[in-house]
Amino acid sequence: MVRRALVSVSDKTGLVPFARRLAALGVELLSTGGTQKALADAGVKVVSVGDYTQAPEILGGRVKTLHPRVHGGILYRRGLASDEADVKARDIPPIDLVVVNLYPFREAVAAGKPFAECVEEIDIGGPTMVRSAAKNSAHVGVIVDPADYEKVAAELEQTKALSEATRFYLMKKAFAHTASYDAAISEYLTARETPAAEPAHFPQTLAAVYTKVQDLRYGENPHQAGAFYRAGREPDEPTVAFAKVLQGKELSYNNLLDLEAALAGVKEFDGVAAAVVIKHNTPCGVAVGKTPGEAFARARECDPVSAFGGIVALNRPVDYAAAEELTNLFLECIIAPSYSDDARAALAVKKNLRLLEAPRLGEPRSAWKRRPEEQRELRSIPGGLLVMDRDLGSIRREDCKVMTKRAPTEEEWRDLLFAWKVVKHVKSNAIVFAKGDRTVAIGGGQTSRVESVKTAVMKAQLDVRGSSVGSDAFFPFKDGVEEIIKAGATAIIQPGGSMRDAEVVAAADAAGIAMVATGMRHFRH
């Protein structure tokens, strides 16, 4: 039975209604500081922990709950003779429920507060109470997440007690909560040589704590097990991990990988309707249009064979016209900011089609404020982890250097910059032919750049003559440029920097095509 609860929370979401439900059940509420005030101001009867322990807060509030009457009440094993004797001798009543979430350390760090202020937000009593209650979960419940208030209150209203299953569920969440909190503190501290030093780009200890969302049917192949984990906090940008699934079969490991590739590609475009079609983690068609339906239709035309069974991302709400276009092709998944009611009805005919909604995808990119940990990319190797900055690099026309005698025309500049947005999402060695705000041929994943050019031209379903070409890295030899010239393209954008740049430029000049250098490479392995 829950007779007494200690409530001390930093995040007060849902606190007062939950506390009222506990009070209505006759549960005595103990509390401290701001939580006690919030409850008292709301008319909820609450006992100060200082009055309960007969030990007032000291050290400016640093010591409030670190007292035998608190931790004895939490940790004592009901029914164990020696524990029963101890609590009786010292007049320690049981505390059956601990409701605690921790000081906002991460928020202080994210706000750029000084070192001393961040350290002051390191909770001591909170984690101690959480760990004490979690350790004694055979007798005590612990809540660290306001999302669990309803579950706990409803169960108490039914039975006056928490089941073993619920206490174990809460125990697991509690230890995950404190582990994540301590990992964040460790990462913050190990990024600094001294308190006053600027933080290192990568900390000595990496706080990578994730929670399993679901077991997947399998991994990349049926003989490989797979699971999907999610970070503790939703990123401040559109993400597959936190997208809402609206319909369709359960997402697979490969679906999630391809959806992320599609989303990353469509995020390149701002202020215009864009569509990206992904197959096997690489684009097979990218286009912009006046409407999302037109953008998708134009993207599909780049490689309709590869688009079959593909993954589509759109950066505009899907209306009925777009839904009609989308249902004309077998697709695995679609992700978009939203769907109109008639679009949902049209897409519902494809019962296995997975629809995902990521509302922030329709916002301008300037609205996304990435936290430092969200600018990292993690890749595992047996026994280790590779960490790097995400490839968020972009260039403007004024960043480019014209390498050839002829500068690009205005139309070529537009196509070159479009190709450059796409090429960083294609597997290396990556080659993208673009014309009129869409891709017309894509080649990548080859072990030589010239083979990627040949692959793109060989697969082309649209006319590549007069197009502009993006290359993710420099041309080591002129043969790739010669193949581009042979295909009829008229301009090239590439990083530059090869020891054979002179002969590459000479080949372009001889053919009268334009070439510009970005000074930025976009390898994608």
361 plus 413 within the same structural domain: no
Q: 483 and 340 share a domain? A: no
Which residue, of 190, 205, 231, is where some domain finishes? 190
Judge whether 210 lies within some domain.
no
In a domain, 321, yes or no: yes
Residues 183 and 251 in one domain: no
Q: Is 280 a catalytic residue?
A: yes
One domain, residues 313 and 433 = no
Whole-number pLDDT of residue 80: 85
Q: Residue 69: phi, psi to the nearest 5?
A: -70, -25
In a domain, residue 451? The reply is yes
Report pLDDT digits (tens) over 268-322: 999 999 999 999 999 999 999 999 999 999 999 999 999 999 999 999 999 999 9
Q: What is the model's pLDDT at position 87?
A: 85
Tell me, yes or no, whether 376 lies in a domain: no
Task: Report which of 455, 496, 452 is spatially closest to residue 474, judged by C-alpha positions.
Answer: 496
% of the chain residues with pLDDT over 90:
76
Q: What is the pLDDT of residue 66?
A: 75
Write down the mean pLDDT value for the chain. 93
Active-site residue identified among 135, 151, 249, 350: 135
Residue type, 507: A
Give one word for 112, left, alpha or beta, with left for phi > 0 and alpha for psi -120 to 50. Answer: left
pLDDT tens string 13-70: 999 999 999 999 999 999 888 898 999 999 999 988 888 877 777 777 777 777 888 8
Global pTM reads 0.86
Pair (106, 147) in one structural domain: yes
Residue 182 sits in a domain whose CATH number is: 3.40.50.1380
Query: What residues contact residue 70 under an 8 Å CB cut-off, 6+ apart?
Result: 6, 49, 52, 53, 95, 129
Give me the number of domains the chain comprises: 3
Give the integer Cα–Cα distance in Å for 39 and 200: 42
Identify whether 223 is a catalytic site residue.
no
Mapped onto helix, strand or coil, the DSSP state of residue 208 is: coil
Residue 499 lies in a domain: yes
Q: Is residue 212 part of a domain?
A: no
* Secondary structure (DSSP) of 78-132: TT-HHHHHHHHHTT-----EEEEE---HHHHHHTT--HHHHHHT--SHHHHHHHH
Q: Tokens standing for 476? A: 């080591």
Q: How far is CA 5 from CA 13, 52, 77, 145, 446, in A?
A: 17, 12, 16, 15, 63
Mark whether 103 and 166 lie in a shared domain.
yes
Strand partners, 141: 97
SS3 283: strand
| 47 domain-assigned | yes
> What is 394-425 written as a DSSP string?
---GGG-EE-SSSPPPHHHHHHHHHHHHHHTT
DSSP 305-340: HHHTTEEEEESS-B-HHHHHHHTTS-EEEEEES-B-
**Does 155 lie in the same domain as 282?**
no
Q: Which amino acid is at 280?
A: H
Question: Does residue 247 lie in a domain region?
Answer: yes
Tokens in use for 323?
A: 């839904």
Q: Are residues 334 and 409 both part of a single domain? A: no
Question: What's the CA gap between 515 and 490, in Å, rounded?
Answer: 9
The CATH number that applies at residue 282 is 3.40.140.20
Both 276 and 357 in a single domain? yes
Identify the active-site residue in 113, 151, 249, 280: 280
Over the stretch 193-242, which tens digit does the pLDDT of each residue have?
Answer: 998 888 888 899 888 888 899 999 999 999 999 999 998 788 889 999 99
Taking the C-alpha atoms of residue 252 and residue 226, their distance in angstroms, rounded to an integer, is: 9
Segment 431-439 mean pLDDT: 97
Shared domain check, 37 and 135: yes
- The residue range of the domain holding 47 is 4-190
Do both 10 and 137 map to the same domain? yes
